[in-house]
Each structure stands twice: as structure tokens, then as C-alpha cells.
Amino acid sequence: MIVLMGVAGSGKSMQGRMLADDHGYAWVSTGEVLRVLITGQRRHEMLSGKLLSDDEVIKVVDTVFNLIDTRQEFVIDGFPRTIKQADWLLEQTKRARFPLTAIIHLQADESVVRDRLAKRGRQDDTDEAISERFREYKEMTLPILEHFEKAGVAVYSINADQAREVVHGDIMRVLRES
């Protein structure tokens, strides 16, 4: 399993799709899966920028993992987003549900991200929501990356401000070397 992490707009889904298409990997975009599977009031809250609970997200991700062949390499982006989710993922690797090939951290400048998200044009990409995502990224994602490193998992940082082909090349270099 290759885990892509970074703030919204750093290119996680773009790079996940490229890895999947170029190498025949399954690709799980957690954000897309949640937008498809979460309904009713929770969907409305999610689209307004509110996060789902750890248990809700883990349940959906676990369901998806049961649908794909986790014995084959696959890519996931947008998960984990909390230490509890990271611990669940590490526990799954300890149980040999799947190997953890790499954690790829896509680092992007806030101005680059704001420009990308403005062009994406999704309903939940408001200025306020983007600011909130950066706050959550700093308060939640960065500590998760440190948590993985403390657990002995290598985290590879990639400059995601570059053109997508350059970023993809950097990811491929890291994967070959890991």
C-alpha cells in the first residue's frame, strides 16, 4: 500500500490516479469514496467542511479494503487523517492484511493550493474551508507523519508545487529506492 498524504490541493488524488493508471494499481481516494457513500445530514455536514468521526471513516475504509485485492499493491489518498486512523492502519499492517510500501507526503505552498482549489471549483472549496483545511493539516496531518516516523515507518516528502509530471517522477524515484 502506498499512502499519499498532504493538504487538500497538494495533488494526492492526481498522483494517486497517475500511479494507478501507470502501474495498474487499485486507487482509493478516500474523499471521493466518502462523497459517494455518505448520505443525508452527514453528507450535508461533510460538504460544508465538517469532518466525519474516526469510526465513520474507518468503517468506510475497511469496507473498501474488503472490496479490493489488498495482496496487490494499491494507492490510498486522504487517509489517515487522525492518529487513531493511523494506529488502525498500522494495526492492519501488523496483522498482515497488506504491506505498507511507502508514506508519501506531498508538501505544497498555501498559495499554490488556493489556486488549484479555486480552479477545481468544488462546492466545499470556499476560502473559509480552505483556511480550515490548512489549520487541520498543520494540527493533525503533520503530527500523523511524525507518528508514522516514530513507529519506524519511512515518510518521503515530495515538493508538490512542481508540475504534476515532475511530482510523479519524484514519487517513482522514491518508490524505486524504498
The pLDDT of residue 121 is: 80
Domain harbouring 134, CATH code: 3.40.50.300
Report the 3 state secondary structure along 99-124.
Answer: CCCEEEEEECCHHHHHHHHHHHCCCC
pLDDT in tens, 110-139: 999 999 988 888 887 888 888 988 998 999
The pLDDT of residue 66 is: 95
CA distance 10 to 114: 10
Domain holding 151, by residue range, is 2-177
Instruction: Give the C-alpha distances (Å, rounded to integers) separating 41 from 44, 61, 88.
Output: 5, 20, 26
User: How would you write the pLDDT of the chain (178 residues) with one tens digit per residue?
Assistant: 999 999 989 999 999 999 999 999 999 999 889 888 888 888 888 877 677 899 999 999 999 999 999 999 999 999 999 999 999 999 999 999 999 999 999 999 999 999 998 888 888 788 888 898 899 899 999 999 999 999 999 999 999 999 999 999 999 999 999 8
Please answer whether residues 14 and 20 qualify as being in contact, where contact means their C-beta atoms are separated by less than 8 angstroms: no
Please answer whether residues 80 and 89 qualify as being in contact, where contact means their C-beta atoms are separated by less than 8 angstroms: yes
pLDDT exceeding 70 applies to what percent of the chain?
99
The pLDDT of residue 45 is: 83
Q: What's the DSSP call for residue 147?
A: H
Domain count, the chain: 1
